[in-house]
């Protein structure tokens, strides 16, 4: 299948659709039918729901065939910094690992992809025997921030 990428924007967010990753699970259309309408052209009606609703539904795509990004305003139009709530949360744990909350795709050094969901802990101290994951070794070496 040809690797095709299509983008649908409302000026504030852009939804990216990668045809080569889609398995037609219908998670998008069943979850937000006003926006995702397979069989019609264009099949993504980007103005049919709020940005928040669209971003939350896109994050549920099981293969990540759908993704999004927030369009940044021109520098002179920006009044304050923009924070993006992607659904992922990264926490730096005191004297411990990085904790990622949410679904992520981990790409190993050999290029193999692994889906992680829930909480994933990544080593910050460098002594884990199970890198990139934390195995608690920071406790043995009295790791400090």
pLDDT at 115: 80
Residue finishing a domain among 72, 98, 130: 72
pLDDT given at position 40: 94
Residue at 83 is within a domain = no
Q: Would you state the structure tokens that stand for residue 80, as one six-digit string?
A: 């304050």
- The domain that holds 17 is classified in CATH as 3.30.70.20
What is the count of structural domains for the chain?
2
Structural domain span for residue 105 = 89-140
Q: What's the confidence (pLDDT) of residue 37?
A: 96
User: Taking Cα atoms as reference points, which of 24, 15, 21, 8 lies closest to residue 55?
Assistant: 15
Q: In the chain, which stretches have pLDDT less than 70?
A: 1-3, 73-87
Cβ(17)–Cβ(65) below 8 Å: yes
Asked if residue 9 and residue 43 are part of one domain, the reply reads: yes
59 and 97 in a single domain? The answer is no
pLDDT for the residue numbered 86: 57
Write down the pTM of the prediction.
0.54
Asked if residue 100 and residue 131 are part of one domain, the reply reads yes
pLDDT of residue 53: 94
Pairing relationship of beta strands 113-116 and 98-101 according to DSSP bridges: unpaired
Interatomic CA distance for residues 126 and 132, integer angstroms = 9
Residue 135 has a pLDDT of 95
Specify the pLDDT at position 80.
57
Is 43 within a domain?
A: yes
User: Among 80, 76, 97, 98, which Cα is nearest to 88's?
Assistant: 98
Asked whether residue 14 falls in the same domain as residue 59, the answer is yes
Residue 53 lies in a domain: yes
In the sheet with 13-18, reading across from the earlier edge strand, the strands are 5-9, 13-18, 66-70
Tell me if 63 is assigned to some domain: yes
CB-CB contact of 66 with 58 (8 Å):
yes
For the four alpha carbons of 136, 139, 140 and 143, in that order, the dihedral sign comes to: positive
The confidence score (pLDDT) of residue 85 equals 56
The count of residues in the chain is: 145
> What is the rounded distance in angstroms from the CA atom of residue 136 to the CA atom of residue 121?
10
């Amino acid at each position: 299948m040809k690797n095709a990428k299509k983008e649908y924007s409302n000026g504030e967010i852009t939804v990216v659709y990668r045809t080569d990753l889609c398995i037609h699970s219908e998670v998008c259309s069943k979850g937000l039918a006003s926006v995702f309408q397979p069989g019609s052209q264009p099949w993504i009606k980007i103005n049919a729901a709020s940005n928040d609703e669209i971003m939350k539904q896109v994050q549920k795509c099981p293969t990540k065939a759908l993704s999004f990004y927030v369009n940044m305003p021109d520098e002179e139009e920006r009044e304050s910094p923009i924070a993006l709530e992607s659904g992922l949360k990264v926490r730096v744990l005191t004297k411990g690992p990085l904790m990622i909350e949410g679904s992520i795709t981990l790409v190993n050094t050999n290029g193999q992809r692994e889906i992680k969901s829930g909480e994933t802990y990544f080593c910050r101290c460098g002594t884990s025997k199970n890198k990139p994951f934390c195995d608690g070794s920071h406790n043995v070496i009295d790791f400090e921030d």
